[in-house]
Structure 1
Amino acid sequence: MSPLAPLQSAPDTDGLNLSTAPAVIAVADRQRRRRYTPVRVKFLLTLLISFGWAGLSLYLATPWIRELGHIIGTAGAHLVIWGVAILPGFMNAFLVAGLLADRRPARTWTGPFPGITILVAAYNEEASILGTLDSIARQDYPGPMQVLVINDGSRDATMARLGTISYPWLTVIDLKQNAGKANALNQGLKQAQHPLTITLDGDSYLYKGALRHLVGRFLSDPPNTAAVAGSVLLRNSRTNLVTKIQEWDYFHGIAAIKRLQSLFQGTLVAQGAFSLYRTDVLREVNGWPDCVGEDIVLTWAILKLGHRVGYCEDAITFTNAPTTFGQFIRQRQRWSRGLIEAFKTHGSLLFKPRMSTVFVWWNLLFPYMDVAYTLFFIPGIVLALFGVYWIAGPMTLLVLPMAFVVNYLMFYIQSHMFRAQGLKVRRNPLGFLVYALFYGLVLQPGCVLGYLAEMLNLRKHWGTK
């Protein structure tokens, strides 16, 4: 059978009932693991530990708040200390407790694999598009596969490079006019033939087994799962200090947050760089919205329908990160604008009674904490250098033990996953040092600029090429 055969002509795979098959596996898995701790119990324990830590921190910070209150008033002191210490401490405690409670369930699917459509939106990707397609060709996916490369009006030799190759599963859609990533993906969605759609960036390289792992995770997850985010790591981490720093952000922070959110039934961003979606759900929400943060807004639309969004930590793709601080700041501004867009469109998720709602509120607090960090904590560090300890002083050392625990735990978990995949964590001490001590000094102000740009409705553009 041709990999491009229509959906209805492949009943042995594409005819699979994706809404009920995972339920059978889930029931069997529960019977086998009789000591399984319910997720809701883990969630409650994680919340209790986090509130306990926040309460202890607030008690210890009382003298700090009182002293700062003499200078900027009691209300102002509370706003500052909650923004730079109490709320971040609560979130770190939640992260530690949740990660300790997390046990990645084994992939249990043993049936046929459904057909997949891979959408690759490409804009000026002459240097990497052939490598991306080569990584797809090297996959061992056992089901039908359709790959649609959508050339979004590239001004370089992307189309010329695509003309030099031929795969039976590959179709190239040449859009003469650049209209943005969302439009390109939606044009591809119109031609998607299979029940599962996967997005992959044009500068990404799939690691071995990535497609099998990603689809296997979807088939083994709870039956209300409609999307699964893959694991995105850096391909160009050795380029310079900028990429060396970001290597730790992807390896540590982003991966840990997605893992935690998946545990509690709602990964908030199935990133466009590498994620899986049910094709029917994509069409139900009218595909990708025309905005800066199309992936987060799409994910929230899926969550709003009551679906679950998961995460597969060992379905790995390596992608290129910004190589200059200017590109990096523009990327994070775009991500921050996407967060505001998500709240504008799907703010009602704040009041949806489910475990993942805590992460929506968490995201609502990010602008406040970023502003507090930018306007108060960074100046507080400068003042501390001159012996003025109004904001940054001995009390701020209280965050160091939790920060150490968080980073060690994330490193331990990710390193274990790496070893299982035959990968090795390379030595990058300088990147980690700068990431741990100075990353926020650049990141938080950049995020604040992104929030302001979206609230002021400034011109939107991709900005990272």
Structure 2
Amino acid sequence: MKPTTKTHISLGHGQEMRAIPLASGVATSLHPGAAEKGTRGPRHGLYWFRYIPVFAKFLLAQTGAILWVLFSFWIALPWIHNLDTVIGPILTVLIILGVAILPGYISGFVLFSTLLDRRPKIVEITDYPAVSVLIAAYNEESAITDTLKSVFGQHYPGDLEVIVIDDGSKDTTVAKVEGFAEPALRLIRQPVNGGKASALNAGLQQATHDLIITIDADTYLYHNAIKFIVGRYLSDPSNTAAVAGALAVRNSRKNWITRLQEWDYFHGIAIVKRVQSLYQGTLVAQGAFSLYEKSVLLELGGWAPVVGEDIVLSWGMLTKGYRIGYAENAVVFTNVPESYRQLFRQRRRWARGMFEALRAYPRILFQARLTLQFVFINLLFPFIDLSYMLFFVPGIIAAFFGFLLIAGPITLLLIPLAALNNMVIYLVQRRMFKARGLRIRRNFRGMFLYVFFSQLLMSPASIAGYASEVFRLSKSWGTK
């Protein structure tokens, strides 16, 4: 491949925009009429007057969250005094922190950040770069054909290379792929199941383009998903090395477990990535659908042979000073676990991946950036999950019998905050869905289960994941 050069042009609003190198080695400008590096592009309408710098948004969201916590604390002072009298100061502090202060602060910060967020526009692009798509597959005979159809149905305006890596499947996955007549499709066969990281690394070595997109073998790409995720990458600051796509649930009508997860992906996962990207650093570019710079993947040695390979890779990028973006409108539909056993294994793996990432890149804790806060919040989740199971759930049960010692005023104040938070998130997500021609399906049962029971289901799995990594238990590819 010819060596390429990379230049940058100004997007205005304090951001640099990239010009991606083409295969010929000529960097193409993506902003009509943009000047050379060091000059500014045009202001766009009234947005310039309404623009609030990212750091100012961060301070405003912090202020709002802290004021909410202080107000809650002030309201609850008599209750806190009673709790201290009964169980002592140490346990009181742990309970207040775990079931009220930290959840209230996180909810408040997410709420104010969401209200302040204005997604940057995707610039006008005339020449889309070539992309290599990697699909790691293990026993995916029921889904791989639909996934490939969705990829080749994208009508991406640039060159597209699709590489399926069969990781020792024992079903008809290979036959399904071989029966798919597309000249841009290649199949790599690994005789023995080596895990997702091994499969992706095999595909990376065979990929011929500078941009890599990973897709799970049971993921269906909504139209223009590749175009939007590439557009987001090209429009983001020049140190962006990866972009996470937006995941929605495909099999949500299967049962109550999948209905609950539909809201978890639509509300919880999506808004966390949105807020993190607002502060210039999504923490995880998930393997189900993300874009990466090939050179950065090679610099980091590809995907590590761990259960949370996408988390470890992402934290490696952040530690190296790269940025990870989020394309909220690059939508794909993925199959989620259909039983609690599968869901438990998935969330246990996710929780375990965080510890793997911290062990691999402890320096991330000492690198000043706005998103460092999210790293520390992640590290507080073991305490929050334990507090939920040990204090909050027993406290709610006791409240039904008239004992309000634990489920006191400060805990009850989380209810209106959570309701407001969910309403704002819903409106923001609905607007994005409408812009993409998608309609939110009625799923009131799933919403009820998500709001009232999701943490009850997820926390035990997360705690099991933390314990599995602490005690170095055996690992497997497992549920994605």
AA matched with 1:14: A
Q: What are the within-5 Å matches in structure 2 for residues 229-240 of structure 1? A: 229-240=244-255
Kindly state the Cα deviation for residue 394 of structure 1 after the two structures are TM-superposed.
4.7
Q: Shift of the alpha carbon at 1:388?
A: 1.8
State the distance in 1 between where 2:57 and 2:406 align: 35
2:272 aligned with 1:263, yes or no? no
Deviation at 1:464, TM superposition (A): 2.5
Q: Paired residue for 1:382?
A: 397
CA-atom RMSD in angstroms: 2.2
Report if the CA contact (8 A) 2:111-2:424 is conserved: yes
Partner of 1:122: 137
Structure-1 residue corresponding to 2:114:
99
Task: Quote the Cα distance in structure 2 between the aligned partners of 1:354 and 1:16.
Answer: 33
Distance 1:356 1:17, change over 3 A: farther
Deviation at residue 110 of structure 1 after TM alignment: 2.1
* In 2: Cα distance, 1:7 partner to 1:233 partner: 38
Does the 8 Å contact 2:2/2:25 carry over to 1?
Answer: no
In the alignment, the residues of structure 2 paired with residue 25 and residue 39 of structure 1 have an alpha-carbon distance, to the nearest angstrom, of 25
TM-score for the superposition, normalised by structure 1: 0.95
Match for residue 140 of structure 1 among 155, 162, 173: 155
1:245–1:435 contact (8 Å) kept in structure 2: yes
Give 3-state SS (helix, strand or coil) of 1:188's partner: helix
Question: Is 1:305 the counterpart of 2:320 in the alignment?
Answer: yes
Q: Quick one: distance in 2 between partners of 1:392 and 1:16?
A: 63
Distance 1:357 1:419, change over 3 A: same
Contact 1:13 1:143 in 2 (8 A): no
Pick one of 29, 48, 61 that aligns with 1:34.
Answer: 48
Match of 1:185 among 177, 200, 204: 200
The aligned residue for residue 113 of structure 1 is: 128
**Corresponding residue for 1:457?**
472
Distance 2:268 2:204 in 1: 31
Q: Give the secondary structure class of the aligned counterpart of 1:423.
A: coil
Q: Does 1:371 align with 2:386?
A: yes
Distance 2:414 2:309 in 1: 34
1:121, 1:152 within 8 Å by CA — same for their partners in 2? yes
Is the contact between residue 286 and residue 310 of structure 2 (CA under 8 Å) also seen in structure 1? yes
- The one of 427, 437, 443 equivalent to 2:442 is 427
- C-alpha contact (below 8 Å) 1:334/1:462 kept by paired residues: no
> Which residue number in structure 1 is paired with residue 186 of structure 2?
171
User: Which amino acid counterpart does residue 284 of structure 1 have in structure 2?
Assistant: E
Offset at residue 228 of structure 1 (A): 0.3
Contact 2:214 2:288 in 1 (8 A): yes
* Preserved CA contact (<8 Å) 1:114 1:144: yes
Q: State the Cα deviation string for residues 328-382 of structure 1 (Å, max 9, x = none).
A: 1111000000011111112221221111111111111111111111111111122
Conserved? CA contact 2:309–2:353, under 8 Å: yes
Cα offsets for 1:77-100 (capped at 9, x unmatched) = 111111111111111111011111
Aligned to 2:22: 13
- The match for 1:3 is none
Amino acid at match of 1:273: A
Task: Pick one of 223, 228, 235 that aligns with 1:208.
Answer: 223
Q: 2:430 aligns with which of 415, 430, 443?
A: 415
Distance 1:58 1:307 in 2: 38
Amino acid in the other structure paired with 2:93:
H
Which amino acid is the alignment partner of residue 224 of structure 2? G
Q: 1:30 to 1:389 in 2, by over 3 A?
A: farther
Aligned residue number for residue 258 of structure 2: 243
Aligned residue in 2 for 1:349: 364
Q: 1:24 to 1:155 in 2, by over 3 A?
A: farther
Helix, strand or coil at the partner of 2:82: helix
- Give me the TM-score of the superposition, normalised by structure 2: 0.92
Structure-2 change in CA distance of 1:72 and 1:403 (3 Å): same
Aligned partner (choices 48, 65, 68) of residue 83 of structure 2: 68
- Is 2:172 aligned against 1:157? yes
- Helix, strand or coil for the counterpart of 2:361? helix
More displaced stretch, 403-412 vs 71-80: 71-80
Partners of 1:293 and 1:107 lie apart in 2 by 30
Matched letter for residue 34 of structure 1: W
The residue identity in structure 1 corresponding to 2:156 is Y
Cα shift at 1:321: 0.3
- The amino acid that maps onto 1:106 is K
1:435 aligned counterpart, secondary structure: helix
Counterpart pick for 2:98 among 58, 72, 83: 83
Name the count of aligned residue pairs: 460
C-alpha change, 1:440 and 1:82, in structure 2 (3 Å) is same
How is 1:329-340 mapped onto 2 (pairs within 5 angstroms)? Answer: 329-340=344-355
Give the whole-Å Cα distance in 2 for the aligned partners of 1:330 and 1:86. 29
- Whole-angstrom distance in 2 between the partners of 1:457 and 1:7: 44
Please state whether the residue corresponding to 1:98 is helix, strand or coil. Answer: helix
149-158 vs 442-451, which moves further: 442-451
Cα offset for 1:24?
A: 6.6
Q: How far 1:393 sits from its partner (Å)?
A: 4.0
Q: Name the SS for the 2:392 alignment partner.
A: helix
**Structure 2 contact 99–411 (Cα < 8 Å) conserved:** no
The one-character-per-residue Cα deviations of 1:290-338 (angstroms, maximum 9, x if unpaired) are 1111001100000011111000011011000000011111110000000
CA distance in 1, matches of 2:78, 2:266: 37
8 Å contact 1:19–1:224 — kept in the other structure? no
Give the 3-state SS of the residue equivalent to 2:291 in structure 1: strand
Q: Any gaps of 5 or more consecutive residues in structure 2? A: 5-19
1:94-138 Cα deviation digits (max 9, x unpaired) = 101111111011101423111101000001100000110000111
Range moving further from structure 2, 335-344 or 15-24: 15-24
Q: Distance in 1 between matches of 2:111 and 2:62?
A: 11
The amino acid across from 2:48 in the alignment is R
Q: Secondary structure at the match of 1:77?
A: helix
Change (3 A) 1:42 1:18: farther
